[in-house]
Amino acid sequence: MPRAEHGISRDDISENALKVLYRLNKAGYQAFLVGGCVRDLMLGMKPKDFDVVTDATPEQIKAQFNNCRLIGRRFRLAHIVFGREVIEVATFRGHHPDEDEDASAHNSRQNEHGHLTRDNVFGSIEEDAERRDFTFNAMYYSVVDFSVIDFANGRSAIKKREVELIGDPEQRYREDPVRMLRAIRFAAKLDMTISERTATPIREMAGLLTNIPPARLFEETLKLFISGNGVETFKQLHSHGLIEPLFPQLASFLRDDSCREMQFIYRVLQNTDDRINNEQRVTPAFLYAALLWYPLEEYAQKMMSESGLNAHDAYNIAMSEVVRKQTQRIMIPKRFSTVMRDIWILQQRLPRRFGRRAFQILAHPKFRAGYDFLLLRGEIEGGELLELADWWTQFQDAHPAQQKKMLNALRSQEGGGTRKPRRRRQPRKENNA
């Protein structure tokens, strides 16, 4: 596509990305912007980052830039660092060997599930394009003549607003099951639909995600839910049968859109989306605490009824077990699982407000997260839970005299009047006989 047909302007491209392209071209290498940044520019969106691809090897790239560091073991990448901006530069990727070839002669490998496990094969721009996952990600922008090379008819996918896989969907999902999650993410982010041929195998092949390392799935789920499109993403994950392999303890609770569990998750995700879109901070701990809240509650209730444990012990056991089971699928770093536990524990402490307890809870480092969680629960479940949330809404902003009045009113309501002062115990006299 010549310049007049695609509408991409250098004014919309990062200055640092242009520097990388110009220097590689000047050194005699091919270099292109590729993937999401080209797609977003053609959609009239502002790219989050700019990726470059080239025929230069990682070592040749490093030789051109003093501010370059090489990363990765599966596939070496160059990161060109300009202050807070990093331009990622990759060498054109080649194909992994066919099954009938001698795999020992190549650097690419597949495991028993067909997943790509090693990827150190360099190739041509044509091979690189074939290895891209979606058609709209196989477009390459050149600063030599300002053209866009569209290898897989990505412009058509953009025009139809469809997420379309390159190649045979079943084979591509077997190579890397995370592509199913990426299809969902792009559809939600770009307000597109997933083409029928791309969507059809997803439900049947969803189980392949259980073979993906939990640490990688943590990173992928962050992209799914902490992107400002969490509600639509969750709806699509549910409709394509992808909740079960990601959150097996949650799946059985999601009967339909009207059930309280689904409404609670939608409310939490909408709250997360709003904060992200208003450039406010969010923590994955809050989201994971919400996704696992009803499985936790059910497990604790079961422990109390079957084992006769008190609520404190039942919830402690349930918290450990629910987190343990979840981390078998999606790794949750301790810095987040600790906050999740704080939020859950506060759900047990917030109803106990008498005397100094209310002030102790208010001073808890995670009070705000626990209160926000309670408020969202109250909005969905109503009744006493909503009354409790409203009480804390008033109490935390009240002046000391008003807080004391609220606690006295609560004691009168719950205890039937003011509590009599406890008699001071007299010290026992020693027997000198």
What is the SS3 assignment for 164? coil
- Quickly list H helices, 226-292: 230-239, 243-246, 248-251, 260-277, 284-291
Residue 72 in contact with residue 62, Cβ under 8 Å?
Answer: no
Strands 77-82 and 68-71 come out as antiparallel
| Close Cβ partners of 163 (under 8 Å, ≥ 6 residues apart) | 134, 136, 157, 183, 186, 187, 190, 192, 193, 194, 195, 198
151 DSSP 8-state letter: S
Q: Taking the mean position of all CA atoms in its chain, how far away is CA 411? A: 43
Helix (H) or strand (E) holding 189: helix 178-190
d(CA 233, CA 379): 22
Coil, helix or strand for 165? strand
Decide: helix, strand or coil at residue 309.
Answer: coil
- Active-site residues: which are they? 49, 51, 133
Beta-carbon contacts of 48 under 8 Å, excluding residues fewer than 6 positions away, are 36, 40
Report the distance separating Cα 390 and Cα 407, nearest Å.
14
- As to burial, measured by CB atoms within 10 angstroms (0-12 exposed, 13-18 middle, 19+ buried), residue 45 is middle
